[in-house]
């Protein structure tokens, strides 16, 4: 969590840093701050609250500098407050630092430095970094950064400025993302590409332990022995507009509406990477015939995509699939070996638990395949094989388009695997691929129903709790519907397998409980309708998302139609309704949809 940015160049750093922070705000929004290199030390402005509070503090500011660093915080150690905000400056006022990550040995370091007479002012783990840097500094900042990083335990992406080395910005990282952007007018460090996109699309992806030394004229890279390292910049294909709201009230709505396009782009690429010319051969020549089982591991919505995919892989490929929360997988001593394919699903490619799960799987000899949206991210680089989702930058904390892109990659892969394993003929595989290719157009017809969904959702803000039910693959997507609703609307919700209701949960259903029932699975239509009757007869109201309905059950059943498609791919259609429903419930409650409380988009700490 937390977003960091730094700039050194020929333009005024202040507006560049503030605008860059806006693009990183999805990473944390408890507080924000900047430090500019000034004539007499650093000019530091820090403010509790969202970035707009910092902007208000800075309104009319005449501050100006050729170099500065900025930070937007998701608090881990120490409450959100002005003093705990970054940048942190050592007590001599010589070194300023922004940090994303967690310093696990900060107590020991703090105790050691305190014994040497150094006074700490904040409750954060991060403050030990500038204090330690000032303690070590003897005229060579590169050397100081090496010493500091040798002393730090935990994870970090760091930006340093030193009063004694004007015009030099230093960056280093371990287990947290950091990119270096190079432009005509100056150079950048940033947690993510959108922060620099309006200035450049040329970026370097910093690797762990590499140190970048930036001046206005260029960037040099070093290893921990201070030997120069040669790196090649990459060209980012994301457009500037893709990271802008472009007239939409929220990024989430914009991203929901972008789904037909990103599905088309991703299906095309996935078909090329994972289907044609060799079905089932993902980048690098992966062969599914080498595996006895698949394990899919991920967090949050990416985990839900994995649960959907389990149904698809098992049905089409007849191969056992386990789906594990990455935070559990990493500590369970998982039973995987070289005959296991472990699939990591992640939008950011930087989720700490998913990275740890990947490393655990690799250490046990499993083959890893990642499905990732962010180019150059840790998971995309470290996994043995990688398939990219082409969702473009996703800014809203609640994922929508990246989730949809993950689903279509997983479907395409499953069809490819099934053909490779001889469970589908090439003709059947082609037919399945055509079904997947029909999803973007069918999604468009759902998006046309936005007004009706909005109207229905506006009446649902009164509920304290909402249940989501489905059977089989519809249960998997019910989990995503429930997560989406709770994270942005703060309404309690749970997802249940329809058949499980009678084993306990139905006791929660009472007069006017709302149950959202999903029925994309035509084969089980009768079963979900029975569940609907059961809850309605106990007083519930139901929103049914399916292909058809017989009657409105005395006005108790509302209905949103989704087009027919092979049931294995129907989650891609039901989820669009679920996303719009959640969005409009939250919008009607007047909530800050793109930045839900307590959450950050990219969970780079444990």
The residues carrying an active-site annotation are 2, 601
- 100 is a site residue for ligand M6R (CB under 6 A): no
**594 lies in the binding site for ligand M6R (CB under 6 A):** no
Site for ligand M6R contains 493 (CB under 6 A): no
CA nearest to 64, candidates 18, 28, 24: 18
Other CB atoms within 10 A of residue 512 CB: 11
Rounded CA gap, 118 and 76, in Å?
23
Considering the rule CB under 6 A, would residue 309 count as an interface residue with ligand M6R?
no
Which residue stretches of 318-351 are H helix?
326-329
Give how many residues touch ligand M6R by CB under 6 A.
16
CA nearest to 71, candidates 90, 102, 37, 46: 46
Using rule CB under 6 A, residue 603 touches ligand M6R: yes
| Helix-helix angle 439-447:259-274, to 10 degrees | 170
Is position 394 an interface residue for ligand M6R (rule: CB under 6 A)?
no
Find the part of the chain contacting ligand M6R (CB under 6 A) among 146-154, 343-351, 410-418, 566-574: 343-351
CB 171 within 8 A of CB 177: no
Contact between 485 and ligand M6R by CB under 6 A: the answer reads no
Nearest approach in angstroms of CB 198 to ligand M6R is 23
Beta-carbon count within 10 A of 107 CB: 12
Answer yes or no whether residue 348 interacts with ligand M6R by CB under 6 A.
Answer: yes
Q: Is 534 exposed, middle or buried (0-12, 13-18, 19+ CB in 10 A)?
A: middle
Burial class (CB in 10 A: 0-12, 13-18, 19+), 187: buried
From candidates 47, 126, 346, 493, binder to ligand M6R by CB under 6 A: 346
Our CB check for ligand M6R shows the closer of 327 and 570 to be 327
Compute the chain's Rg from CA coordinates. Answer: 25
| Nearer of residues 305 and 557 to ligand M6R, judged by Cβ | 305
Q: In what order do the strands lie in the sheet with 514-519?
A: 492-497, 465-470, 514-519, 541-546, 557-561
Kindly state the smallest distance separating residue 73's Cβ from ligand M6R, in Å.
18
Q: Is 602 a binder of ligand M6R (CB under 6 A)?
A: yes
SS3 158: strand
C-beta closer to ligand M6R: residue 2 or 96 = 2
State the sign of the Cα–Cα–Cα–Cα dihedral 323, 328, 332, 338. positive
Nearer to ligand M6R, 128 or 352 (CB): 352
Residue that has been written with the tokens 């005229």 in this structure: 139
Q: Using the minimum distance from each CB to ligand M6R, give the nearer residue, 401 or 442.
A: 401
Please state the closest distance from residue 177 (CB atom) to ligand M6R, in A. Answer: 11
Q: How many Cβ atoms are within 10 Å of 461's Cβ, its own excluded?
A: 16
Least distance in angstroms from the C-beta of 236 to ligand M6R: 18
- CA dist., res. 162 & res. 155, Å (int): 22
Each residue 465-484 as x (binds ligand M6R by CB under 6 A) or -, in order, gives ------------------x-
172 preceded by a cis bond (ω within 30 of 0): no
How far, CA to CA in Å, does 262 sit from each of 77, 269, 291, 299, 329? 38, 11, 31, 22, 30
Q: Given its phi and psi angles, is residue 485 left (phi above 0), alpha (psi -120 to 50 degrees) or beta?
A: alpha
Instruction: Name the closest residue to ligand M6R (Cβ).
Output: 300
Between 501 and 585, CB nearer to ligand M6R:
585
Q: Does position 487 bind ligand M6R by CB under 6 A?
A: yes
Pick the piece of the chain touching ligand M6R (CB under 6 A) from 99-107, 114-122, 344-352, 512-520. Answer: 344-352
Least distance to ligand M6R, CB of residue 379, Å:
8
- Sign, Cα dihedral of 69, 73, 77, 82: positive
Residues in the chain: 606
Question: Under a CB-based contact definition with an 8 Å cutoff, are residues 219 and 179 in contact?
Answer: no
- Min dist CB 576 to ligand M6R, Å, is 15
Neighbouring C-beta atoms of residue 303, cutoff 10 Å: 24
Instruction: Candidates 378, 399, 558, 572: give the one binding ligand M6R (CB under 6 A).
Output: 399
- How many CA atoms are closer than 13 Å to the CA of 291, on its beta-carbon side? 28
**Which of the stretches 63-71, 98-106, 199-207, 394-402 binds ligand M6R when contact is defined by CB under 6 A?**
394-402
Nearer to ligand M6R by Cβ, of 348 and 572: the residue is 348
301 binds ligand M6R (CB under 6 A): yes
**Per-residue string for binding with ligand M6R, 236-275, x by CB under 6 A?**
----------------------------------------
Closer CB to ligand M6R, 126 or 399, in the complex: 399
Stretch touching ligand M6R by CB under 6 A, among 152-160, 391-399, 471-479, 493-501: 391-399
Residue from 236, 397, 405, 485 touching ligand M6R (CB under 6 A): that is 397
Site residues (CB under 6 A) for ligand M6R? 299-302, 346-348, 351, 354, 397-399, 483, 487, 602-603
């Amino acid at each position: 969590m937390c977003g960091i940015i730094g700039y050194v160049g020929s333009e005024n750093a202040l507006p560049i840093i503030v605008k860059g922070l806006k693009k990183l705000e999805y990473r944390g929004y408890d507080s924000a701050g900047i430090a500019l290199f000034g004539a007499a030390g650093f000019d530091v402005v820090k403010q509790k609250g969202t970035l707009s509070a910092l902007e208000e503090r800075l309104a009319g500011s005449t501050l100006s500098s050729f170099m500065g660093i900025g930070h937007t915080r998701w608090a881990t150690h120490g409450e959100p407050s002005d003093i705990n905000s970054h940048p942190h400056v050592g007590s001599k006022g010589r070194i300023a630092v922004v940090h994303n990550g967690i310093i696990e040995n900060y107590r020991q370091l703090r105790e050691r430095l305190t014994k040497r007479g150094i006074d700490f002012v904040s409750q954060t783990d991060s403050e030990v970094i500038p204090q330690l840097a000032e303690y070590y500094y003897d005229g060579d900042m590169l050397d100081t950064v090496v010493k500091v990083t040798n002393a730090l335990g935990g994870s970090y992406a760091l930006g340093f400025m030193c009063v004694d080395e004007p015009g030099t910005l230093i960056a280093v990282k371990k287990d947290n993302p950091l990119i270096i952007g190079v432009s005509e007018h100056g150079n950048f460090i940033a947690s993510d590409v959108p922060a620099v996109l309006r200035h450049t699309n040329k970026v370097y992806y910093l690797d762990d332990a590499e140190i970048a030394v930036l001046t206005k004229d260029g960037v040099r890279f070093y290893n921990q022995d201070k030997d120069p390292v040669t790196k090649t910049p990459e060209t980012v294909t994301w457009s500037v507009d893709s990271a802008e709201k472009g007239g939409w009230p929220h990024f989430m709505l914009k991203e929901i509406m972008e789904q037909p396009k990103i599905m088309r782009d991703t299906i095309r690429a996935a078909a090329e990477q994972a289907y044609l010319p060799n079905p089932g051969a993902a980048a690098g020549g992966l062969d599914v015939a080498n595996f006895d089982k698949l394990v899919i591991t991920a967090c949050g919505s990416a985990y839900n995509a994995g649960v959907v995919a389990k149904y698809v892989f098992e049905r089409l490929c007849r191969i056992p699939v386990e789906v594990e929360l990455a935070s559990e997988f990493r500590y369970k001593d998982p039973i995987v070996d070289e005959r296991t394919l472990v699939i990591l699903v992640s939008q950011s490619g930087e989720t700490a638990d998913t990275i740890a799960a990947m490393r655990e799987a690799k250490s046990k000899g499993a083959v890893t395949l990642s499905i990732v949206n962010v180019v150059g991210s840790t998971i995309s680089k470290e996994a043995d094989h990688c398939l990219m989702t082409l969702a473009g930058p996703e800014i809203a904390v609640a994922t929508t388009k990246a989730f949809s892109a993950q689903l279509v990659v997983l479907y395409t892969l499953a069809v490819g695997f099934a053909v490779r394993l001889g469970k589908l003929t090439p003709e059947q595989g082609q037919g399945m691929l055509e079904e997947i290719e029909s999803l973007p157009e069918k999604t468009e017809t759902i998006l046309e129903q936005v007004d009706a969904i909005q109207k229905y959702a506006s009446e649902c803000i009164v509920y304290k709790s909402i249940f989501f039910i489905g059977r089989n693959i519809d249960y998997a997507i019910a989990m995503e519907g429930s997560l989406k609703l709770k994270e942005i609307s703060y309404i309690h919700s749970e997802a249940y397998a329809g058949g499980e209701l009678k084993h306990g949960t139905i006791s929660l259903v009472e007069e006017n409980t709302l149950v959202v029932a999903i029925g994309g699975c035509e084969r089980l239509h009768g079963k979900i309708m029975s569940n609907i009757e059961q809850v309605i007869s106990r007083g519930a109201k139901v929103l049914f998302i399916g292909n058809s309905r017989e009657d409105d059950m005395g006005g108790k059943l509302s209905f949103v139609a989704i087009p027919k498609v092979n049931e294995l791919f129907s989650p891609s259609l039901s989820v669009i309704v679920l996303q719009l429903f959640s969005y409009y419930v939250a919008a009607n409650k007047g909530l800050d949809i793109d930045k839900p409380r307590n959450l950050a988009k990219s969970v780079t700490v444990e």
